[in-house]
Amino acid sequence: MAETLYVRQTMLAPEEAPASQVGLIRWLRENLFSTWLNAILTLVAAYIVYALLTHLWPWFAHAVWNASSLSECRQIITETWGEGATGACFAVIRERWQQFLFGFYPKPLYWRPTLAFFLMLLALAPVLYTAVPRKLLWFSIAFPGIAFWLLWGGSLMLPIAVYAGFGVGYLAYRLLAGRAVAPLVAVIAALIWWGYVAGPLSRGAGDLLFLTPVGSKSLGGFMLSLIIGVTGISFSLPLGVLLALGRRSDMMLVKALSVGFIEFIRGVPLITLLLVASFLLNIFMPPGTNFDIVLRVIIMVTLFASAYMAETIRGGLAALPRGQYEAADALGLDYWKAMRLIIMPQALKISIPGIVNNFIGLFKDTTLVAIIGLLDPIALTGAIRADQNWQGIIWELYGFVALMFFLCCFGMSKYSQYLERKLRTDHR
């Protein structure tokens, strides 16, 4: 008996997917209720969130933004919401936000740190984003001197004299190009210029574009945290690269100095270094030298961060396969070209999470300067609470400081994720 074969002549019309496999229901099943344990954890987390919201929402909903004291805030909350009602007194933020941003910087001169902040964003643009014209890098190099002049005032000749020291060092290096002592002579020439020529030259050149001087004791708030944090971040990365290369160097003296510096700095708390910067560093300077306290703190914070940065970058260098070094040798590249073109770009790419982690830690550590009398945002909260009108206020002040630091640190974290995606080469 012959078999009868059936061949479909038409296709079945597509049907809708089951409701449990699409949309919100599918997302809930896959992410929140995939197993019985996840379901229990989801319900517990939902209860905790509900409990927090029921307690925190009235505090925010009853917030007062216009008042001259904490007692007035409480009176307004009682009159509006009844006896026993609680609410945030954000009037203190509204009244003191300028102090949080600028510390005790003279109010008529607020335009100077504000201009320096926007110029900082312009200077960072070509460093952080390749789409920005490369010619702006020249402005990025000039920005530290401009920012110093704007913030501290005085004559513009002082930053110019400091930059001239780098030119003297470069000129000395070029004159001795090819000789082993060229880098050492260049460093010595720059130090001699800064130590004996830059100061008298800036004072003798007159008041070139003179701005009203502002002392470091007037700096405070988030402006001070940005000055210390951004400067420390900017200088700790190149110093960390040099220290990491020095620690892996075959030259015994260079390696010993690098290892000694890194291990010493990592073995000493940052608070100790800040106390040294505040009380002891001037002892080692020539008599009559007035070394600015903020500059001393920046130096110590930068040295501290560079030691940790060196170890992070050394980890990236160690993660590279030996074949990359052999490939650089096969191309006939010398040590510095191999590092600049082949080794270091890959090592820095590997080290991005650790580098940004160090940056975030450094920025948060700027609050430690409160122990040496500098008025960072945390220290300012104490100064504000000492005012009789705001005695007893706590959560609003510390919450505002926490929010500002979170925004800055979260921004750095998101940029690192963007950079990792941009440099990704596995196409996954």
- Supply the pLDDT for residue 360: 92
Which residues are bridge partners to 64 per DSSP? Answer: 89
- Supply the pLDDT for residue 3: 63
Of residues 306, 296, 299, the one with CA closest to residue 264: 306
What are the structure tokens assigned to 249, written together? Answer: 């160097």
- Domain locations along the chain: 41-89, 97-105+218-428, 155-210
- Which parts of the chain sit beneath pLDDT 70? 1-6, 19-20, 22, 178, 180, 204-208, 281-282, 284-290, 425-428
In angstroms, the CA 242 to CA 240 distance is 5
- Supply the pLDDT for residue 341: 85
- Supply the pLDDT for residue 410: 93
Q: How many CB atoms lie within 10 A of CB 158?
A: 20
- Supply the pLDDT for residue 342: 86
CATH superfamily of 97-105+218-428: MetI-like (1.10.3720.10)
State the virtual CA torsion across 182, 188, 191, 195 in degrees, nearest 10: -150
DSSP-derived 3-state class of residue 220: strand
Of residues 201, 226, 273, 249, the one with CA closest to residue 103: 226
